[in-house]
Chains A and B, each alone.
Chain A
Amino acid sequence: MNKTVERIAPFLFGVLALGLWQGAVWGLQVPNYVLPGPVAIVQAYAGDYAVLNSALVSTLTVTLAALAASAALGVLLALAMAASTLVRAAIQPWAVILQVTPVVAIAPLIIIWVNQPFMALVVCATVVAFFPVLSNTAAGLAATPADLLDLFRLNGATRLQTLFLLRLPAALPYFLAGLRISGTLALVGAVVAEFVAGSGGFASGLAFRILEAGYRLEIPRMFAALMLLAFAGVAIYTALGLLSHLMLRRRDN
């Protein structure tokens, strides 16, 4: 009983908040260009769903490409760092510098340097997103149980055997946790890059539609695009969480 209530609580709260919002907009007669109510937002989406949906697809394409690139780059760098302390010492500070530099500041440069617009957006989003995969996978590789490493040594395991039969499987849960964080960051990175690229971007993503709606004072449409972004973020986070849960449960049970 309690469990069910807990499960539907977020939805109830959402409906309540939306109701209050709509009520306030109607009651206080707030104009649409200042704050549209949920009804106006849904109407704006219904009137323009083809354009907005294709914008969503475009942004998601960049996000997923950046997530794949982040996974590959993060794992490769983590492996290199695990293989040699020299490589670790050389790479680690630069990875941190890249991580703490706001992508808004370097996105214009990347967009100038990378000629192909789609690639430019993917590179920006990857810069934002790869760090959690890298740091988590590196932590996972370093956290391989010492006793199992000893056991491999006693049985004359080669480095490759230790990597594929022990270190990588032991790091999998860490990698998946990192991937989940990287997923939402990739979306953030894609949106930031689209903002910076503006109309020069690849096709026209949601961020471009938000900018466009803002310039035209089509505030309900702007909110509709924003709503799609929020849904996309939740969907990515949930899907990666589910993927991790299913993979680990299948493997360890």
Chain B
Amino acid sequence: MMNLSRVSKKFLNGTVALEDITTTIGGGEFVALLGPSGCGKSTLLRLMAGLEAPSSGEIAWADGPPKPGEIGFVFQDATLMPWASAEKNVLLPLKLRGYTGAAAKAQVAAALLQVGLQDFAGAKPSALSGGMRMRVSIARALVSEPKLLLMDEPFAALDEFTRHKLQEDLRALQLRDGKTVVFVTHSIYEAAFLASRILVMSPRPGRIAANIASTVADGPDRRTAPDYTALVKEITGVLRAAMAA
């Protein structure tokens, strides 16, 4: 789907955020970008979204650069418009491209149903819990049926129970629809649970320290499976080595 070759990003103040990132994101993959704060993983996500341009290197798309609405982006905060209902927040990506008719309304209803908020369409963000707001944010990213879903530590601010539930729902959604997802996180457990492939990044400048494919089987025991524990152990080792280097 997307090819990054020798991508670097240097900021105006001279900080090198990313250096020599080369990887391929395949269709249907769930890739976790894992690393400590300041390793440039959010910057890498913004480059993938086209919100910023690389200083050098190239990002190539298999079927041409994405058109508006073809990339869904979920931020660390829900970033909803507080004056608009859940429904209107989710409609936004369609509305911006001129779709507000019955078909768009049906798409919004379907997106809200996907995240389990079909009964809260008319609720304003102030009436929703943190977890529900994040679900609205995910529905907004899904409503335009993007070919790539980019998520920047979306569950970091949620409590453990809500986080687990949302992780499980996201994993199920991705398995069902085969959506391509790139997910930034600083949690080893989150990366191991969610991803089919984990890119471990090292800081200053941000580089890819390891590329680990997950073999953990899906199922209700995913969080306690021996494969999962082994994967967490492997990632921890790689991350420790990357930090020491």
A residues with CB within 8 A of B: 145, 147-148, 150-157, 161, 165-166, 169-170, 172, 251-253
- The reply on B113 being an interface residue by CB < 8 A is no
Contact status of A148 and B82, CB under 8 A, knowing A154-B68, A155-B93, A156-B97 = no
- The reply on B183 being an interface residue by CB < 8 A is no
- Lowest 6 A-B CB distances belong to which pairs? A156-B68, A147-B79, A155-B96, A147-B75, A155-B93, A157-B96
- The reply on B172 being an interface residue by CB < 8 A is no
Contacts of A153 in B (CB 8 A): 51
B79 and A155 form a contact (CB under 8 A): no
Q: Mark B70-83, 1 if CB is under 8 A from A, else 0.
A: 01010101010111
A151 and B126 form a contact (CB under 8 A): no
Min CB distance A127 to B, Å, is: 32
Majority secondary structure of chain B interface residues (helix, strand, loop or mixed): loop
A155 and B144 form a contact (CB under 8 A): yes
A150 and B124 form a contact (CB under 8 A): no
Beta-carbon contacts under 8 Å, B70-111 to A = 71, 73, 75, 77, 79, 81-83, 92-93, 95-97
Majority secondary structure of chain A interface residues (helix, strand, loop or mixed): helix
- The reply on B28 being an interface residue by CB < 8 A is no
Q: A154-B68, A253-B126 are in contact. List 16 more A-B contacts (CB 8 A).
A: A145-B79, A147-B77, A150-B51, A150-B75, A151-B79, A153-B51, A154-B49, A154-B50, A155-B68, A155-B93, A156-B69, A156-B96, A165-B96, A166-B81, A252-B82, A252-B124
Contacts of B96 in A (CB 8 A): 152, 155-157, 161, 165
Contacts of A166 in B (CB 8 A): 81
Q: Mark B121-150, 1 if CB is under 8 A from A, else 0.
A: 000101100000000000000001000000
Instruction: Report how far A212 CA is from B124 CA in the complex, Å.
Output: 55
Min CB distance B134 to A, Å, is: 13
Instruction: Report how far A52 CA is from B82 CA in the complex, Å.
Output: 46
B83 and A169 form a contact (CB under 8 A): yes
- Chain B minimum-CB-distance residue to A250: B83
Contacts of B69 in A (CB 8 A): 154-156
- Chain B minimum-CB-distance residue to A145: B79
A148 and B71 form a contact (CB under 8 A): no
Instruction: Report how far A73 CA is from B202 CA in the complex, Å.
Output: 52
Contacts of A156 in B (CB 8 A): 67-69, 96-97
Greatest chain B CB density within 10 A among A152, A154, A157 is at A154
- Chain A minimum-CB-distance residue to B77: A147
A selection of 29 A-B contacts at a CB cut-off of 8 Å is A145-B79, A147-B77, A147-B79, A148-B81, A150-B75, A151-B73, A151-B75, A151-B93, A152-B96, A154-B50, A154-B68, A154-B69, A154-B73, A155-B93, A155-B96, A155-B97, A156-B67, A156-B69, A156-B96, A157-B96, A161-B96, A170-B81, A172-B83, A252-B82, A252-B83, A252-B124, A252-B126, A253-B124, A253-B126
